[in-house]
Amino acid sequence: MKPLLLIALLTTPAWADACPPGADYSAELEGLIDSIRTAPDARAAEPLSGEMWELWLTAPDAAAQAVLDKGLRQRNNYDFVGALASFDRLVTYCPDYAEGYNQRAFTHFLRGNFAAALVDLDVALRLSPDHVGVQSGRALTLMNLGRIAEARTQMQAALENNPWLSERALLAKGAPLGPTGEDI
């Protein structure tokens, strides 16, 4: 056997016939969103946000989780090409798993490819309409594309689900997504 083929076989998780449906965490997510909306401050909201991310970052099966984790490590190590390849693989295997698209979008965003990021964010948002990370990421992407009114609307939607996002500062007076039409 050729060495590269052997390495590929040993490092690639075996795919099942099809990606299983992910766990239904909608009730848990709804509870977290309700809790974060009533949190008294950002400090109290932070662990709730972390619990949301734990749900979103739980892939449908072990093989998908391995590819997701690999892509996250690659991106954290600035291997954007490798990360994109991993996330491509993940969304091919699990086309209904929103976080695969979200993570690929974030990688595109970091590379400055905002148009590609927006495509993935739109898919992720369709699959997971209350995903605060997708909502705020989409707002930032629209902002970078110069689509300020759409970005403002998207950020406001994200803040409805988590009023403590750090990105809320972008809506302040004088900020990039702040109110318009006011005299100085």
Segment-wise mean pLDDT, segments of 10 residues, the chain, 184 residues = 42 65 92 97 96 97 98 98 98 97 98 98 97 98 97 97 95 92 60
All domains of the chain, ordered by start, with CATH? 42-171 (1.25.40.10)
Q: Which two tokens stand for residue 20?
A: 């299983």
Q: What is the DSSP letter of 78?
A: T
Q: What is the pLDDT of residue 184?
A: 53
Q: What is the pLDDT of residues 62-90, one digit of tens each?
A: 999 999 999 999 999 999 999 999 999 99
State residue 151's pLDDT score. Answer: 97
What pLDDT is attached to residue 37?
Answer: 96
| pLDDT value for 182 | 62
**Residue 140 near residue 109, CB atoms below 8 Å:** yes
Angstrom distance (rounded) from CA 146 to CA 176: 10
125: nearest Cα among 166, 153, 147: 153
Report pLDDT for 180.
83
**Rounded Cα gap, residues 159 and 61, in angstroms:** 31
Task: Give the pLDDT confidence score for residue 15 in this predicted structure.
Answer: 52
pTM of this structure: 0.88
